[in-house]
Amino acid sequence: MTMSFKGKPSRRAFLKGAAAAGGTLASASVAKAAGDPLITEVQEWASATGEGVDATPYGLPIEYESDVVRRNVEWLTADTISSINFTPIHALDGTITPQGCAFERHHSGAIELKKEDYRLMINGLVDQPLVFTYEDLERFPRENRVYFCECAANTGMEWAGAQLNGAQFTHGMIHNMEYSGISLRSLLEEAGLGAAGDLKDKWVYVEGADASSNGRSIPMEKALDDVLVAFKANGEALRKEHGYPVRLVVPGWEGNMWIKWLRRIEVTDQAIESREETSKYTDTLEDGTSRKWTWVMDAKSVVTSPSPQSPIKHGKGPLVITGLAWSGRGAITGVDVSVDGGKNWMPARLGAPGTDKALTRFYLDYNWQGEEMFLQARAKDSSGYVQPSKSELREVRGLNSIYHNNCIQTWWVKANGEAENVEVS
């Protein structure tokens, strides 16, 4: 692989932060002498006027937040068309991911598909094969649900060791949105499942309108349970790169199955065993055999701040340790945080009670005295599952699984506030 990058981002980010902190200190010393000029002197924004309401029909974040963006890691893939980018989770708070910086994963690029050109077909073992327009879909009874979409490969580069330095890169193949759409069940019932006979051994094969098609097989039980055909996310239409105008939402299951630009749903009597469930999204174990159909994303968490891209800049004293936890097996019931590499754990505070298959924010309000920390978080879910360490995972799976790495992450926070991605014994 080609590694064309240089420098240490955490160091650079830290220095940038230190410069900012220096500015604050200067202001503070001025304040001692004559008062803070940001207070004692009339500032321009307190005197002149700002922008009119017609300046920005659809706004972007203020320029000072320009670092809160999706990032690409060039050497991960052969080109950017079938590739991945990363959500800036180190800089976000709460649980809802802004769509504009929510990660992308395409296999043949983000296509442009107008609502007028959109068609959805249901065929196979149904009573009546159907074609829907976009307008047809909007007339079915609608649901609203918040779910995480995590790429099966999230944290995959970390199987063999600590590699990428930042929560965005190690854990940022994830987003969490409020979806509005219709149940897949309602569409299947509209076509009629009488022809399918015993539904227990039936499947739905779903594919997108793009060249890759991204076809995947889903067992009928899941299809009839909680799968959504979504056309809105976080209140507005899906972004082009997230499947506009219609995508599948498969709660708790690996992101690959969340088919974008959804164009066809086929009821079948066998799994198609498509490329994306044989060559890819199968998990090779140490003995050379591979697990297939590893659909569920297990309980997982990460401290988002402090972290390599979010160093401590304010010195000793009160420190907010925060992060995200999630599970495809249910709701997060608790998160424990360790500052000593897992010797001792403290229960964190959940920002809001965990909900089914959705991101949960956690906080630990901590009094930092400048000591080195080995920061870890450990998620627990409503099924009783406890997030494992990387060595626990490796004992079962070896190093070559690629996918489904939900191990406990360690950040080494140094005395100067910088943080680094490390593995500890």
Least CB distance to other proteins at residue 9 (A): 5
Least CB distance to other proteins at residue 137 (A): 8
**Interface positions, 382-411, toward other proteins (CB under 8 A):** 383-386, 388, 392, 396, 399-400
**Interface positions, 302-331, toward other proteins (CB under 8 A):** 308
Neighbours of 83 (CB within 10 A): 17
Dist. CA 68–CA 318, nearest whole Å: 24
**Interface positions, 22-81, toward other proteins (CB under 8 A):** 67, 69, 71-75, 77-78, 81
DSSP strand pairing (349-350 vs 332-338): unpaired
CB 136 within 8 A of CB 246: no
Least CB distance to other proteins at residue 13 (A): 7
At a CB cut-off of 8 Å and minimum separation 6, what does 2 contact? 74, 75
The answer to whether residue 215 forms part of the interface with other proteins (CB under 8 A) is: yes
Count of residues near other proteins by CB under 8 A:
110
Q: Which C-beta is closer to other proteins: that of 234 or that of 360?
A: 360
What stretch of H or E contains 211? none
Q: What values do phi and psi take at 30, rounded to 5?
A: -60, -40
Q: Which C-beta is closer to other proteins: that of 74 or that of 236?
A: 74
At a CB cut-off of 8 Å and minimum separation 6, what does 63 contact? none
Binding residue for other proteins, selected from 9, 219, 330, 351, defined by CB under 8 A: 9
| Token pair of 164 as six digits | 């990428």
The answer to whether residue 100 forms part of the interface with other proteins (CB under 8 A) is: no
Work out whether the CA dihedral 213, 171, 325, 393 comes out positive or negative: positive
Give the CA angle between residues 5, 6, 8 to the nearest 5°: 120
- Point out which span in 24-32, 50-58, 130-138, 145-153 binds other proteins (CB under 8 A): 130-138
At a CB cut-off of 8 Å and minimum separation 6, what does 20 contact? 313
Q: Which C-beta is closer to other proteins: that of 161 or that of 197?
A: 161
| Token pair of 178 as six digits | 């409020």
> What is the DSSP-derived secondary structure letter of residue 39?
H
- Point out which span in 55-63, 222-230, 233-241, 417-425 binds other proteins (CB under 8 A): 417-425
E-strand stretches of 128-172: 130-133, 143-150
SS3 20: helix
**Interface positions, 354-383, toward other proteins (CB under 8 A):** 374, 378, 380, 383
- Point out which span in 29-37, 46-54, 124-132, 147-155 binds other proteins (CB under 8 A): 124-132
Q: Which C-beta is closer to other proteins: that of 99 or that of 186?
A: 186
The answer to whether residue 132 forms part of the interface with other proteins (CB under 8 A) is: yes
Q: Which C-beta is closer to other proteins: that of 95 or that of 263?
A: 263
Would you say how long the chain is, in residues?
A: 425
SS3 129: coil
Q: Which C-beta is closer to other proteins: that of 363 or that of 374?
A: 374
CA distances from 305 to 162, 203, 379, 410 (A): 18, 42, 16, 12
Binding residue for other proteins, selected from 43, 144, 278, 416, defined by CB under 8 A: 278
Least CB distance to other proteins at residue 407 (A): 11
Site string for other proteins, 173-212 (x = CB under 8 A): ----------x-xx--xxxx------------x-x---xx
Binding residue for other proteins, selected from 18, 93, 140, 363, defined by CB under 8 A: 140
The answer to whether residue 142 forms part of the interface with other proteins (CB under 8 A) is: no
**Interface positions, 334-353, toward other proteins (CB under 8 A):** 336, 340-345
The answer to whether residue 416 forms part of the interface with other proteins (CB under 8 A) is: no
Binding residue for other proteins, selected from 47, 49, 367, 425, defined by CB under 8 A: 425
| Token pair of 278 as six digits | 């044989």
Dist. CA 397–CA 156, nearest whole Å: 13
What stretch of H or E contains 179? strand 174-183
Least CB distance to other proteins at residue 393 (A): 8
Binding residue for other proteins, selected from 202, 263, 313, 357, defined by CB under 8 A: 263
The answer to whether residue 288 forms part of the interface with other proteins (CB under 8 A) is: yes
Of the candidates 213, 404, 149, 170, the one whose C-alpha atom is nearest the C-alpha of residue 292 is 404
DSSP strand pairing (360-368 vs 317-326): antiparallel
Binding residue for other proteins, selected from 148, 295, 326, 368, defined by CB under 8 A: 295
The answer to whether residue 134 forms part of the interface with other proteins (CB under 8 A) is: no
Dist. CA 301–CA 323, nearest whole Å: 7
Least CB distance to other proteins at residue 201 (A): 14
